[in-house]
Structure 1
Amino acid sequence: MQKVKYYKRHRMELPLRHPPRPAELPTGFRWVPWDESLLALHAEIKFLSFQGHEDALVFPSLGSRAGCRDLMAAIRCRPGFCPQATWLIAGADGCVGTIQGLRDDIGFGGIQNLGVVPEYRGLGLGRALLMQALVGFAAVGAPRAFLEVTATNEPAVRMYRSVGFRAYKTLYRAVELPHPDAVGVGQ
């Protein structure tokens, strides 16, 4: 019998009444704007950012390279894909952070899969990615931005709150846990 675990998630929103300030990066890092040729690189950075993370249990596609490629392709093909809110951060060793943006049916900007490779966390890159996406949403006239975050991801929840995001809804996502006797699960 499969066990099911429920993950608490917050839908957080932020009005974009005042244009956000462009994000500054620490010395040695630079912005890489969206380009079609970067789809696979976004997927790879997404995988490196989420592998072994609780969110890869909540969204299994984040736990494999193939899943991240499929997810990135699906985001890119959505009618509301927002290149202005889709960025990579590059450093001396290559790209280390990614974010994608989508606009929903009423024009709100949706943050998708903000990820920073573990070795580069704590440098303010996640906050910079978030702010850069918000600037992109404001540039295309989105009146509001939203995202969903797993409630136990306390560093992310704190960062979103510090920028002004507020929880508007609590959601629960049911996830079937792998049977303990399963071999190769999540690989």
Structure 2
Amino acid sequence: MRIRTFAEGDGEAVVALWKSAGLTRPWNDPWADVRCKRTVQPEMFFVAEDGSGGVVSTAMAGYDGHRGWIHYLAVADEQRGTGLGRALVERAEAALAALGCPKVQLQVRPDNTGVVDFYERLGYAPYEVVDLGKRLIPDG
């Protein structure tokens, strides 16, 4: 496996992986997320490829000066349990730490219960918060 930054031409494979991993939602355009990340800290948009060059995992990281975030961690079904997810999280954490980021957070949808154990094994702990959001630019 090789972990690298997102490159031109990865979009189709990345969006297909996100869809198969259940990360997309009908109201959220994953292509808009790809385009946006390519303009803001694109060096923190990671993909892992298998021996044939196919994209089998992704992670987006970002740092706002206060804390870091990890989004869109996805691992292809056939690669789960191989340590690839851990490797991508560690790559994202290292990139954030290199920027002086003191803390990293992520969000897990309530219906994605299987991944909570994975993150807890990596040292993440749940926080009791109310997550609020407001769209400033319409999706799409």
Give the TM-score normalised by structure 1.
Answer: 0.60
* Aligned pair partner of 1:49 in 10, 14, 17: 17
Find the aligned partners of 2:103 and 2:8 in 1 and give their Cα distance.
Answer: 26
Q: In the alignment, which residue of structure 2 is the partner of 1:77? A: 39
Tell me how far apart the structure 2 counterparts of residues 97 and 170 of structure 1 sit (CA, whole Å): 29
CA distance in 2, matches of 1:139, 1:50: 27
| Length, aligned pairs only | 131
Equivalent residue for 1:167?
126
CA-CA distance at 1:154 after TM superposition: 2.4
Deviation of 1:160 after TM superposition, in Å, equals 1.0
TM-score where L is the length of structure 2: 0.78
Offset of residue 139 of structure 1: 0.9
Q: Relative to 1, partners in 2 of residues 1:45 and 1:170: Cα closer, same or farther, differing over 3 Å?
A: farther
Per-residue deviation, residues 8-45 of structure 1 (Å, max 9, x unmatched): xxxxxxxxxxxxxxxxxxxxx1222x26xx1541x334
User: 1-side partners of 2:76 and 2:56: how far apart?
Assistant: 5
Counterpart amino acid of residue 50 in structure 2: G
What is the CA–CA distance in structure 1 between the aligned matches of 2:8 and 2:58, rounded to whole Å? 11
Determine if the alignment matches structure 1 residue 110 to structure 2 residue 78: no
- Taking a change above 3 Å as real, the CA distance of residues 46 and 121 of structure 1, as seen in their structure-2 partners, is same
Q: Is the 8 A contact 1:82 1:102 kept in 2?
A: no
Q: Which runs of 5+ in 1 are unaligned?
A: 1-28, 62-66, 174-187
Indicate which of 96, 101, 114 corresponds to 1:155.
Answer: 114
2:3: which partner in 1?
Answer: 31
Cα RMSD after superposing both structures: 2.4
CA distances 1:132-179 after superposition (whole Å, capped 9, x unpaired): 100111111100001111122223211111111112225489xxxxxx
**Residue from 99, 102, 106 that aligns with 1:140:** 99
- Give the fraction of aligned pairs with identical amino acids, expressed as a percent: 24
State the distance in 1 between where 2:45 and 2:12 align. 15
Decide which of 27, 38, 60 is 1:100's aligned counterpart: 60
Q: Which has the higher strand share?
A: 1
Unmatched runs of 5 consecutive residues or more in structure 2: 134-140
Greater Rg over alpha carbons, structure? 1
Map of 2:137 onto structure 1: none
Whether 1:90 and 2:52 are equivalent positions in the alignment is no
Conserved? CA contact 2:2–2:49, under 8 Å: yes
Q: Given that residues 109 and 144 in structure 1 are in contact (C-alpha distance below 8 angstroms), is that contact kept between their aligned partners in structure 2?
A: yes
Seen in structure 2, the aligned counterparts of structure 1 residues 77 and 114 have a Cα distance that, compared at 3 Å, is same
